[in-house]
Structure 1
Amino acid sequence: MNSSPLYKQIAKKLKKEILEGSITSGDAIPSENKLAESYNVSRVTIRQAIDLLVSQELLEKVQGSGTYVKEKKIEHDIFRLQGFTEEMSMLNKKTINKILSYEMKVPTNSIMDILGLEEGDQTFYISRLRYVDDVPLVLENTYMPVKLFPDLSYDVMQASKYKFIEKNKNWKIKQSFQEIIPIIPDETITSLLNLKEAIPILKVKLWSTLQTGEVFEYSELFFKSDEYKFKIVANR
């Protein structure tokens, strides 16, 4: 005899359906009334089962709409230096880079300091909206020194800049320095990332160096935090 509470038994059955793919990510589950009828239990029991799966991040409630199977977040290993396209390719994800801006700019003093530039040096400024499986996931604003990349092109930035650096330039990328800040996005970012509301997102400031020690990029990235999470492994 199963001594587990009834709501936990129902939650276990629903969880099995989700993990086996009978109910897929993004799908709405049946209403509480239908589930109560199906399992021949009260709505209170169904609500307890649903709340348990919400706490386990398998389901999410959308006010005025229903309860849905939560989309699985893409995990980013913060300790692994790899390009976005490379990372998504390893996860068998399709990526598209939509270029919002591609121009030469005189950088601000703070960006000049980060990139080690002198007065009068210019940068390429590229703003890209990065899609994964046709969903806008990351807004990336990047500055790259013109003197390092006189051959940088629009086509290159529609693909992978890291691949261009390592394969075409034959340069070795050494490391990346990152600062992660939670922010409330403005209206522009909320619209570009198709956010339902101005929910907190993750802003990442990063600068990357070549094996020579030269800083070759400064980027500010805005991650859609309801579909992307950062993974950190700490060893003792």
Structure 2
Amino acid sequence: MSEITYRDPLFIQIREVIRSKIESGEYPPGTTIPSELDLAEMYGVSRLTIRTAIDALVYEGLLRRIQGKGAYVTEPKLNYSPEVFGGFRQNVNGKNIRFSSKVLYKTARPADTSFSHILGIEPEDDIYYIKRLCYTDGVPFMLNKLYIPCRLLPQFDEIDLNVFQPYEVYSMYGLNVRTVEQKLDLAYLHHTDCNKLGIDPGIAVMCFECTSRLQDGTAVEYSKSYARGDMCNYSIRFQQSPRS
């Protein structure tokens, strides 16, 4: 009770107490916090106050409710900082993170007008379409869709994208990406893709839309990546140029 005063609304104080226990490691990732009833008795407040505090932490992504089991502490979010070429893996700041991916679909198809103008090719030219599910420590966190001109990657069908990342493949072919155009937006996925990511339908995800180009402006790849907001955040650094 010494942690609770009457200076601020009780649910805010409870929220901050739980937050501090998460940040200190007293409530480690992957474990449940005490039940609403136990917390209410511990701090001498109503279950509604506890529920409101927990709801706020769920909204922030620090906790995740699992029906019938309680509220679990989530893993720290991956921080995506797009300052290095090389795809999502190279731009995520975090130590001891095990990345993996699984190819869900891979085929060659005409670019059509949907992608020909983006990739700078003719509508009848073939492109590779690859759909991958990406994992961190075995947990799905991103759905990735790639569109690549076939003429740039002969014998691409023989390369296992469960082993090699796309940017590694580009290097194998001597394709050195020099510029990346990126746009960040929110998106809603079809319920089948939500199931693959392990999220409820109707929850917004972060959508990273990227076009990667060579020195001469040739588009190597157009991609759309849908990342879980409860597992990833986005940061970018600006630096002011010295005044002459």
The interval holding the TM-score normalised by the smaller chain is 0.7 to 0.9
Are 2:4 and 2:14, in contact at CA under 8 Å, matched by a contact in 1?
no
The unaligned stretches of length 5 or more in structure 1 are none
Residue number in structure 1 paired with 2:45: 42
- Answer yes or no: is the 8 Å Cα contact 1:75–1:230 preserved in 2: yes
Is the contact between residue 26 and residue 68 of structure 1 (CA under 8 Å) also seen in structure 2? Answer: yes
Aligned partners of 1:174, 1:55: CA distance in 2, in Å? 40
Q: Which runs of 4+ in 1 moved over 4 A?
A: 6-13
Deviation at 1:185, TM superposition (A): 1.4
Q: CA deviation at 1:101?
A: 1.2
Query: Which AA in structure 2 matches 1:161?
Result: P
**Offset of residue 34 of structure 1:** 1.7
Q: Which amino acid aligns with 2:216?
A: T
Q: Which amino acid aligns with 2:161?
A: M
Q: How many Å apart are 1:49 and its aligned residue? A: 9.3
Q: Please, which of 187, 197, 204 is the counterpart of residue 201 of structure 2? A: 197
Secondary structure of the structure 1 residue equivalent to 2:27: coil
The TM-score with structure 1 as length reference comes to 0.81
Residues 1:15 and 1:219: Cα distance change in structure 2 (over 3 Å) = closer
Return the alpha-carbon distance in structure 2 between the equivalents of residues 192 and 55 of structure 1.
21
1:19 matched residue in structure 2? 23
User: Which residue pairs with 1:102 in the alignment?
Assistant: 106
1:162 aligns with 2:167: yes
How far apart, CA to CA, are the structure 1 residues paired with 2:160 and 2:51?
Answer: 52
Residue equivalent to 2:219: 215
Structure 2, unaligned stretches of length 5 or more?
none
Checking the alignment, whether the CA contact within 8 Å between 2:64 and 2:74 is kept in structure 1 is no
CA deviation vs aligned residue, 1:29-48 (integer Å, no higher than 9, x gap) = 11233234445x33379739
Q: 1:137 to 1:29 in 2, by over 3 A?
A: same
How far is 1:110 from its partner? 3.2
Is the 2:15–2:54 Cα contact (8 Å) retained in structure 1? no
1:229 equivalent in alignment to 2:233 = yes
> In 1, Cα distance between the equivalents of 2:219 and 2:181?
10
- Partners of 2:200 and 2:108 in 1: CA distance: 33
User: Residues 201-231 of structure 1, C-alpha deviation per residue, up to 9 Å, x if partnerless?
Assistant: 1223221101232110111222122212222
Between 194-203 and 5-14, the greater mean CA deviation after superposition: 5-14
Pairing partner for 1:57 from 60, 77, 90? 60
CA RMSD of aligned residues (A): 3.3
Residue of structure 2 equivalent to 1:146: 150
Local SS of the residue matching 1:173: coil
Write the distance in 2 (CA, Å) between the matches of 1:221 and 1:12: 33
Q: Is residue 2:9 matched to residue 1:5?
A: no
Separation in structure 1 between the aligned mates of residue 179 and residue 197 of structure 2, nearest angstrom: 28
Report if the CA contact (8 A) 1:50-1:59 is conserved: no
- Per-residue CA deviations over 1:165-220 (Å, capped at 9, x if unaligned) read 22x22332111112223122112211221113321112232211012321101112
- Which string of whole-angstrom CA distances, capped at 9 and with x for unpartnered residues, describes residues 63-113 of structure 1? 865433244221111444331233458643212211111111111213112
Q: How far is 1:50 from its partner?
A: 3.4
Structure 2 CA distance for partners of 1:42 and 1:116, relative to 1, 3 Å: closer
Say whether the 8 Å CA contact 2:188–2:203 is kept in structure 1.
yes
Residue correspondences, number: 233
SS in structure 1 of the partner of residue 76 of structure 2: coil
Cα pair 2:36 2:51 within 8 Å, conserved: no
**Which of the numbers 129, 132, 142 marks the counterpart of 1:128?**
132
Equivalent AA in structure 1 for residue 5 of structure 2: P
